[in-house]
Amino acid sequence: MSVVAELQQLRKTPKGERRKNKDNLPGHLFLLPWTVGLFGITLFPMAASLYLAFTDYNLLQSPEWIGIDNITRMISDDRLHNSLQVTFTYVFIGVPIQLAVSLAIAMLLDRGMRALPFYRSVFYLPSMLGASVAIAVLWRQIFGYSGLINQLLEMVGIEGRGWVSSPDTALATLIILHVWTFGAPMVIFLAGLRQIPDMFYEAASIDGASRFKQFFTITIPLLTPIIFFNLVLQLIGAFQNFTQAFVVSGGTGGPADSTLFYTLYLYQQGFNRFDMGYASAMAWLLVLIISAITVVNFWLSKYWVHYDD
Amino acid sequence: MRSVSNRERGVRATIKHIVMVLASLVMIYPLLWMLVSSLRPNDLIFREPGILLTTLEFSNYVQGWNALSHPFSHFLWNSAIVVFGSILANLVSCSMAAYAFARLDFRFKKPMFALMLLTIMLPVHVVIIPQYILFSNLGWVNTFLPLIVPKMLATDAFFIFLMIQFIRGIPKDLDEAARIDGAGHIRIFLQVILPLMIPALATTTIFTFMWTWNDLFSQLIFLTSPDMYTVPLALSAFIDSTGESNWGGMFAMSIVSILPLFLIFLFGQRFLIKGMATTGIK
């Protein structure tokens, strides 16, 4: 069961009877490292950053309580609004395209394909390497003024442009990079397609349903839990992307802030300017945004995701 | 009933293969081009979109290797320390936690389990600033400790989840049999469950390797001096220091940096794909 399904399951299961003879000690001992981590490395820092969000703190002097000043500053911070816009554009264009491509390729690969392992490897490899600095370096060259794309365009007589150095197209190159790494969701879709019994399709063909119709009446409904799982995780992941924008823009988020991902702006505020209070407030806004989107996703899932229970 | 003639089926399969070959080419071309370009003189990189290898210049590798404050082997070594420390930490701490969640019963199990699932989805950014303050007070900034110690405390909850899934598939009779033979929890964990969990441990090893090897964000924050730089930091310093005048050297070192990932991909693909698939599916 996926993380997503587990969480839904937890909500559904009734409270178990309290058994008195629980053997507490071994369980807590095995969980000791995790428990220390949860409180020391996760919950305590979360509480600390919630406090810092209401302070002015530069690491040198002790934090100074400034109430909601960081929040009002966020409301009037144009760069922050822009970075949100950049991030939302990236996420809400990149993720759906990536999922559509990964599902389409998985469908093509699914049934009785010779050489399937070879193709699967070729499509999966970019998603393994995609998060590395090396690939970001490559992207910066490919979409540069004298890069590979323009060299190829020149062969067919089209005048290129500096894709990464122009504010109109720089973000698009990062979206293309995101789509290029569709291998991970594709592998999950492939596994999901394997689980659909052949007899469903056989029965449908006997009834005279076209392949097109089979896709919409069998494949898609049965795949909805997997589409949902991929959607939730890809959205959460895409909001947090950092490396590609950092490398392609040389750490600036340029040109003209067109690739200033929210995480990159947070990094600049926190670790270039050591404005830790403001960066903490920004971090909490990110958590709220991701949580809100995830909650809405779960709520909407009732209307389109079919669980066979 | 519609019958599809063999010929029609043949045509369809051919079209499918053509589409696949073209798609594969689009996917793999940038990588091949980078590899070939790393073996070309700098001026040719700006002029040659093809991937036919006409030159074999290893000078990019020699020059890129020595272009920074330390030879590139220094950064590879630093990355190796961080990666192997992280792998070991994850294997030990996550398997212990997974055993507790999957096989033991204790107070607060349910809320703890729910918290564990939620931390999988928690953005690192919300804890990184206080963690930075904490580690800088401990004097750990610019050491590898902030990158490894959290993993010793099982903060990579995704792997706990992966292992729980796996342990659930191991028949409980095996634990029972060992218990009847007088084995305690520690022995059951070490001698019954762990050996049977090898595939899940392999998947954890591979994913930890990949994610840590590529993890620019945390390494950028915690490692400040070139002496401590890992591969991602070295590569991004490279692009800063030489600008765009030295694609040859940069491509060469980029190839060096993705070589370990590529090898893991070749040899560990089975575990990767299995691991990916089982986390997404009931």
- Which pLDDT band, with edges at 50, 70 and 90, does A296 fall under? very high
Min Cα separation A139/chain B (Å): 9
Q: What is the mean pLDDT of residues A183-212?
A: 90
Q: pLDDT category, B273, cuts 50, 70, 90? A: confident
Q: What is the pLDDT of residues B61-115, one digit of tens each?
A: 999 999 999 999 999 999 999 999 999 999 999 999 999 999 999 999 999 999 9
Higher pLDDT pick, B121 / A98:
A98
pLDDT at position B1: 44
Q: What would the pLDDT profile of A105-114 be if each residue is shown by its tens digit?
A: 998 886 666 7
Q: Which of B100, B235, B244 sits opposite A31 (nearest CB)?
A: B100
pTM: 0.93
Q: Which residues of A touch B17 (CB under 8 A)?
A: 115
Residues B22-50 pLDDT 10s: 999 999 999 999 999 999 988 888 888 88
Contact between B123 and A287 using a beta-carbon 8 Å cutoff:
yes
pLDDT in tens, A218-242: 999 999 999 999 999 899 999 999 9
Report DSSP state, residue A215.
I
Contacts of B178 by beta carbon, 8 Å cutoff, 6+ apart: B187, B188, B191, B192
Taking the CA of residue B219 and the nearest CA in chain A, the distance in Å comes to 11
**Would you call B82 an interface residue with chain A, using a CB distance cutoff of 8 Å?**
no
Beta bridge partner(s), residue A56: A64
Q: What pLDDT, in 10s, does the model give residues A240-260?
A: 999 999 999 999 998 999 999
Which DSSP helix (H) or strand (E) runs through A64? Answer: strand A64-65
Q: What confidence category does residue B14 fall into, taking pLDDT thresholds of 50, 70 and 90?
A: confident
Map residue B98 onto helix, strand or coil.
helix
CA A183 – CA A238 distance, rounded (Å): 15
Burial class (CB in 10 A: 0-12, 13-18, 19+), B162: buried
Give percent above pLDDT 70 in chain A.
94
**Averaged pLDDT score across all residues of chain A:** 91
Q: Which two tokens stand for residue B247?
A: 């694609």
Distance from CA of A199 to the nearest CA of B (A): 16
pLDDT at B282: 47
Q: Phi/psi at B122 (nearest 5 deg)? A: -75, 125
Kindly list the residues from chain B whose CB atom is less than 8 angstroms away from the CB atom of residue A11.
none
Nearest to B156 by CA among B90, B91, B250: B90
